[in-house]
Amino acid sequence: MSRVGKYPVAIPPGVDVALAGRTLSAKGKLGELRLDLSEHVDVVVDHGAVRVAPRGAERQARMMWGTTRALVANMVRGVSSGYARAMEITGTGFRAAVQGQSLVVNLGFSHDVIYPIPPGIRISCEKPTSIKVEGIDRRLVGQVAAEIRAFRPPEPYKGKGVRYLDETIRRKEGKKK
């Protein structure tokens, strides 16, 4: 039995959740998201909550039960309050700036790294060494942040690179003479 799937997803005020066939849509003040449901689960929207139940007792249905509930909860939270991921750049001369629809990052390479901002994502740089990725789709926000971090992940000796704000880097001792 799923420990996550058995809890209903509460719908906050200002969010409309509708079920049309096998597609669940959530609409809020920040935007609208859609989710194509698996054939292994049943979803019911009633009394200000979304309930997910498995269609059978087979393994795939039990797996999709908790997964679908988590995806619905992420949709509802995304359209009501949104998601954000803060990042920090460490290193001499490393900086970032938003220019039009692109993020331009200088990470010590011979060229600037130009990252096109995908639709549905807002990227801001309050300081030249900080990046904030915001959006309503949790998966997309995490994916964009991971792609930016992958340009220069933090290295363990000096800590230079792009890291998440809540990430801790395990530092190594340098070479001894």
Which tokens is 144 given? 């964009």
Domain limits, the chain? 9-80, 83-164
Residue 172, CA distances (Å) to 88, 92, 112, 154, 175 in order: 20, 19, 28, 12, 9
Please indicate whether the domains covering 9-80 and 83-164 agree at the CATH topology level: yes
Q: Name the strand (E) or helix (H) holding 30.
A: none
Query: Tens of pLDDT along 116-135?
Result: 999 999 999 999 999 999 99
Residue 12: closest CA among 83, 81, 65? 81
Contact in structure between 140 and 106 (CB atoms under 8 Å): no
* Distance from the Cα of residue 53 to its chain's centroid: 25
Q: Each residue of 14-60: pLDDT tens digit?
A: 999 999 999 999 999 999 999 999 999 999 999 889 999 999 889 99
Global confidence as pTM? 0.89
Angstrom CA distances, 135 to 130, 131, 177, stand at 17, 14, 49
Identify the CATH homologous superfamily for domain 9-80. Ribosomal protein L6 (3.90.930.12)
Interval 97-121 mean pLDDT: 95
Domain 83-164 is found in CATH 2.60.40.420: no
